Amino acid sequence: MTDIKSMNLSELTAYLTANGFEKFRSKQVLSWIKQDVADFDGMKNVPQKLRDFLKQDAYLACADIVRVQRSKLDDTVKYLFRLYDGEYVEGVLMRYHHGRTICISSQVGCKMGCTFCATGKSGFSRSLTASEMIAQIRSAELDCGERISNVVLMGMGEPFDNYENVIRFLKLVSSEDSLCIGMRHITISTCGIVPRMRDFADLRLQCGLSVSLHAPNDEARSRTMPINRRYPIKEVMDASRYYIEKTNRRITFEYALIDGENDSDAAARELAGLLKGLLCHVNLIPVNIVTGAGYRKSSIKRQQAFVNILSEEGINATVRRTLGSDIDASCGQLKRNFMKGDA
């Protein structure tokens, strides 16, 4: 089946004309897609012959909301989305002073197996298409009644393990054929898939890049992030420098502070040495509770000490504000293993 919602106008035109339909029909079909039409029969000014063809050959990707959880602590909302084939992903809508930000998923589950992440513990099913990523944004917009101005690909999955679809998503969602969300308002997160980091740098796109580091050396990082055995820290740092050189954009390093694991003064100094001279920012994240992981977040005192050491060494760092913790919507808490039975 053909995923027509992942096409831009020129691709949709080529698809329809190759199948014997007039060129102008593509604009009609795209217009209905942008109006969130639920099925092909809803495309009222499209001839029946074309609708019948589309029903046989194509599908309209969706991200139907089947559960909404609203935090009592802040304005965070967590969505459970059902995809066209019955798979499920989660997304999180947050409110900041600069507008609404949504954290979307790029895969159903994740292969990376990070020990502090619920998604990695729940297995992997498949990657999402560009249209399914866009559908999460649009469904959340319709639910909240506001335009979403910022997008982060930090939900379920490793975006660079779904590289081609993610790049298609970036180009489509920022275009007039879709939601017109500028790339400067989109951030991609990766655990450090080095070849894709370099490919991404070569594209010189204007979106942000966030790298999950979480440890200052290979021994510590390999304990919590199996991907480090394939792409060790030196390779990740080399790829990060390459990205900065190619794009002249600041890179963000994510660092989950885990009590007794990676939050010592020595770890802070080692991290500062690793990042010295880089155009970067360190986003410190007190690790969130994940069933079975056994990790505890660092104390407020330890968090501040870690920040202070980085600052003294000239490394820009902040502690991320935790949002949606009462609905398991914080970093590392999105999962898939319960969904089919509970939805």
Report pLDDT digits (tens) over 177-223: 999 999 999 999 999 999 999 999 999 999 999 999 999 999 999 99
What is the band of 326 on the pLDDT scale with cuts at 50, 70, 90? Answer: low
- pLDDT tens for each residue of 155-171: 999 999 999 999 999 99
Whether 27 and 98 map to the same domain: the answer is no
The CATH number assigned to the domain holding 32 equals 1.10.150.530
What domain range includes position 232? Answer: 64-342
pLDDT at 116: 86
Whether 70 and 177 map to the same domain: the answer is yes
Angle between helix 25-34 and helix 48-57 axes, rounded to 10 deg: 70
Whether 105 and 138 map to the same domain: the answer is yes
pLDDT exceeds 50 at position 16: yes
pLDDT exceeds 90 at position 118: no
Task: Give the span between the Cα atoms of 57 and 47, in whole angstroms.
Answer: 16
pTM: 0.92
Q: Look at the chain and report how many structural domains it folds into.
A: 2
pLDDT at 343: 46
What is the band of 96 on the pLDDT scale with cuts at 50, 70, 90? Answer: confident
pLDDT exceeds 60 at position 292: no
Whether 16 and 98 map to the same domain: the answer is no
Whether 120 and 246 map to the same domain: the answer is yes
Q: What is the four-CA torsion angle of 170, 103, 161, 332, rounded to 10 degrees?
A: 170
pLDDT at 335: 56
CA-based nearest residue to 255, from 244, 266, 271, 240: 271
Whether 29 and 121 map to the same domain: the answer is no
Give the range among 36-50, 136-150, 313-327 with minimum mean pLDDT: 313-327
Q: Across the beta sheet with 251-257, what order do the strands follow?
A: 64-70, 77-82, 88-96, 99-103, 148-153, 186-190, 208-212, 251-257, 280-286, 317-319
pLDDT at 97: 79
Whether 32 and 71 map to the same domain: the answer is no
Whether 75 and 204 map to the same domain: the answer is yes
Whether 146 and 164 map to the same domain: the answer is yes
Which positions ≥6 away from 82 have C-beta within 8 Å? 62, 63, 64, 66, 88, 343
Whether 49 and 142 map to the same domain: the answer is no
Whether 134 and 205 map to the same domain: the answer is yes
pLDDT at 259: 93
Whether 11 and 112 map to the same domain: the answer is no
List active site positions. Answer: 90, 331
The CATH number assigned to the domain holding 170 equals 3.20.20.70
Task: Give the span between the Cα atoms of 333 and 114, in whole angstroms.
Answer: 12
Task: Give the span between the Cα atoms of 137 and 63, in whole angstroms.
Answer: 9
pLDDT exceeds 90 at position 324: no
Task: Give the span between the Cα atoms of 151 and 159, in whole angstroms.
Answer: 13
